[in-house]
Amino acid sequence: QVQLQESGPGLMKPSETLSLTCAVSGGSINTYYWTWVRQPPGKGLEWIGHIDYSGSTKYNPSLKSRVTMSVDMSKTQFSLKLRSATAADTAVYYCARNAGFLDVWGQGTTVTVSS
Amino acid sequence: QSVLTQPPSMSGAPGQRVTISCTGSSSNIGAGYDVHWYQQLPGTAPKLLIYGNTNRPSGVPDRFSGSKSGTSASLAITGLQAEDEADYYCQSFDSSVSVSGVVFGGGTKLTVL
């Protein structure tokens, strides 16, 4: 059974680059799309983008200029970088498997951007 | 402002039936893209509830059902239980140039009275 686990800094300062990793266990990373979704405090879900095993990406147009995703097949993990972070990027960040729908989710990691 | 529109809140008594709507447009639901539903219990990650408009993953009770028509979709919950109190999100895909990707509804907070 596939499981996902996010890891990241927790707290960061404005203008820094947010970096998160999602470790995939119990299954292969060379199928499906691997997705990042975030949820600001008290708000709804926002799709950030996804990547497949070949490194092909698709990003939310509203974040595209600041986002980079990558995949590490050897470590069966994928990563998110969000540049020039602001307080508006404070959220719980989830990684998820996209099988046409988001069928497996990580537990989420909270990232707070504050000076 | 979300691409897919859901009522912000709904409520129902135990045993009742509630229906949560998800309204889109010709570039998402109306274009034929599937609608999926997620349940988010307080303090937890979302969980897939309905996929492909009407299908339930293994383990999801048959009290939950989905439907789609035109530019809208609905999630119905029958025999409402206290454990159903959660936030519910619909999700689809949008092909418009400005969006071009996965889209979510704003979420519906369901309260069991």
Average of per-residue pLDDT across B73-100: 95
pLDDT exceeds cutoff 90 at A111: yes
How far apart, in whole angstroms, are the C-alpha atoms of residue B104 and residue B100?
Answer: 12
Residue B1 in this model has a pLDDT that exceeds 90:
no
Closest-CA residue in chain B for A44? B106
Percentage of residues in chain B having pLDDT higher than 70: 100
pLDDT digits (tens, 9 = 90+) for A12-45: 999 999 999 999 999 989 889 999 999 999 999 9
Are the Cβ atoms of A60 and B104 closer than 8 angstroms? no
How far off is chain B from A1, nearest CA to CA, in Å?
Answer: 13
Q: Which residues contact A2 (CB under 8 A, 6 or more apart)?
A: A24, A25, A26, A27, A97, A104
- Residue-wise pLDDT for A44-100, tens only, equals 999 999 999 999 999 999 999 999 999 998 889 999 999 999 999 999 999 999 999
Cα(B19)–Cα(B108) distance, integer angstroms: 11
Which tokens hold the place of A27? 């299954």
The chain-wide mean pLDDT, for chain B, equals: 96
Q: How far apart are CA A98 and CA B103, in angstroms?
A: 13
Minimum Cα–Cα distance from A39: chain B residue: B45
